[in-house]
Structure 1
Amino acid sequence: MSDLDPNRPLGAGALARLRTVGRRFDPAAELETAEDVAIFLDEYLRDNPDPAAFTQALGIVARANGMTEIARRAGVGRESLYKSLSGDVTPTFETVLKVLTAVGLRLAVAPGGAEGRDRAA
């Protein structure tokens, strides 16, 4: 299936490829359902393990849902939320959880592969 299939949410890899070919693309426009958001964040985190990159992706999700509304649901100020999700600062874990809850998601943990199994043993 092509990354440009209009019926498939775009992950971070597809977004990176679109950027390299010079297309102007707003990933927030593609995030219509909670499932779209979950897939986007999961792929983004898998492709970009850097916390700042995940924070920026969470900012895209918040923008897709309306930053003012997400700030209200999360119980944080809109300007504070913009700053927290810019990727320039590290938001608190509490803020990340509040934003995830505000967009209808929850945090889940899954085994990460051989490296994670070796550490747990």
Structure 2
Amino acid sequence: MKAEQIRNLKTFDPAEYLNTDEAIAAFLEDAIESGDNRVFQEALSIAARARGMAEIAKAAGLGRESLYKALRPDANPRFDTVQRVLAALGVRLSVSAAP
């Protein structure tokens, strides 16, 4: 590729493809199966951004800034905050026996 073509490439944003509850659930499931908390937290942030941070914050009973702080890469959100965000996204966690 030529340098000009590279400059004109659009940055990939997974949030653009998370337009259904099922897509969000699959995206988050893959992230949690990675076993890396940071991967899951980033995926949760992307899913919230896909739906709209203000909308998710309101549905989760959080301030928009509080949601941004809870989902930033260096944060350690409380479990109840994660649960509230998941509920606001229209998904839920489930537990099963490990293979």
1:53–1:87 Cα contact (<8 Å) kept: no
Instruction: Name the residue aligned to 1:28.
Output: 15
Structure 1 residue identity aligned to 2:86: L
Unpaired runs of at least 5, structure 1: 1-21, 114-121
Which structure carries more helix by proportion?
A: 2
User: Is residue 27 of structure 2 the alignment partner of residue 40 of structure 1?
Assistant: yes
Q: Normalising by structure 2, what TM-score? A: 0.85
Higher relative contact order (CA 8 A, sep 6+): 2
The offset of 1:23, in angstroms, is 6.8
Superposition CA RMSD, Å: 1.4
**CA distance in 2: counterparts of 1:109 and 1:57, whole angstroms:** 19
1:28–1:60 Cα contact (<8 Å) kept: yes
Structure 1: which 4+ aligned runs deviate by more than 6 Å? none
Identity value in percent: 49
**CA distance in 2: counterparts of 1:97 and 1:109, whole angstroms:** 14
The offset of 1:63, in angstroms, is 0.2
Aligned positions, number: 91
